[in-house]
Amino acid sequence: MGKNKRNQQKGYNNQREMLSPEGFKDMFPHLSIGKIGEILKKNQGKNQEEILDILLKINEEEEKTQVAKKEIREEKKEEITKNPEINKEKLDTKLYKTQLCTNLNCTDSECFYYHDDYDCRRNLDKYHYRPIPCFSTYDKGEWFHPSYCARGFDCHFCHTQNEWHCHPEYKKRPNNKLRRIQEESKISNKNSEELKKILEDLKISIEASDQQIHQVKNEIVGIDQEIQGMAKFLNCGKCMQEEMDWLIIPCCHGICTNCKLTAYEACPLCGAIMQSSHPINTDF
């Protein structure tokens, strides 16, 4: 009796595995696991053959709808390839990631159109969902395939990251952490702006001081040149080497003592008769 019960339990477990959504997924690829689960729940009292017939019919219908959608997409692709500028004026944030990209080789993450189911976004004009991730497609920061949700497109929660972040009410939700981070960032931005202003003022003051230093250097050079020019007037008018010690009258030329001794009674510069000579004190 014990063996018979065990065999019955094994058969029941095998039948249970066959009737699970995952067991039918390979047989009906056009149906999602969630949809298969709904059909199995509705038809619990029926035989396995009847359930298979129901799944076959629904699978065929889904296949037809998918084929029709593909045809529509191909028609849109042909229209856009013929007219690349089509619908450019009608682009709106409401339609962001709601239509399939026609470029098969597109790898741009910022493309206006979606490339796979993970990138897709339902149009809010047709489907109404809240800015909250669906528990069946989101868990601990990871997004799963949208087909994991049994409700499908009729679900009232977000299935992808684009649906969540691009929802118009996403930014309106209160989030204390985000507000705190934003306030801290504002404070840091203010401090950085103040530091930038201080640095700019320092640069301006340094440039002004550099200009003043340059002006002072130029003035010093000019004074040196003037001193050198004045030295010419203080030297002897004849030899131009020694300082002048005597002033000859009446021509008022200045000469040194050695040149005076060799001049005798006439000025060595102009030849005027020397009436008298007066000593000059150049130590001032």
Please tell me the pTM assigned to this model: 0.33
Q: Reduce the DSSP state of residue 267 to 3 states and report it.
A: coil
| pLDDT (0 to 100) of residue 179 | 56
Q: What is the pLDDT of residues 205-239, one digit of tens each?
A: 888 888 889 888 888 888 777 766 665 667 787 88
Q: What is the DSSP annotation of 71-115?
A: HHHHHHHHHHHH-TTTTSTT--GGGTT-SB-S-TT---TT-SSB-
Return the DSSP state at 153. G
- At 88 the pLDDT is 45
Q: What is the amino acid identity at position 195?
A: L
> What fold is seen in the domain 232-284?
Herpes Virus-1 (3.30.40)
Helix pair angle (48-82, 33-42), 10° resolution: 150
> Any idea what the Cα angle at residue 279 is, between residues 277 and 282, rounded to 5°?
140
In this prediction, the residues of the chain whose per-residue pLDDT falls under 50 are 1-18, 84-91, 284
Single out the residue of 84, 69, 83 nearest to residue 120, CA to CA.
Answer: 69
Q: What is the pLDDT of residue 157?
A: 92
How high is the pLDDT of residue 47? 82
Query: Residue type at 250?
Result: P
Confidence (pLDDT) at 69: 74
Q: Tokens 């002033």 — which residue?
A: 247
Domain borders along the chain are 1-84, 92-174, 232-284
Give the largest CA-CA distance in the chain: 164
Whether a cis peptide bond, with omega within 30° of 0, leads into 29 is no
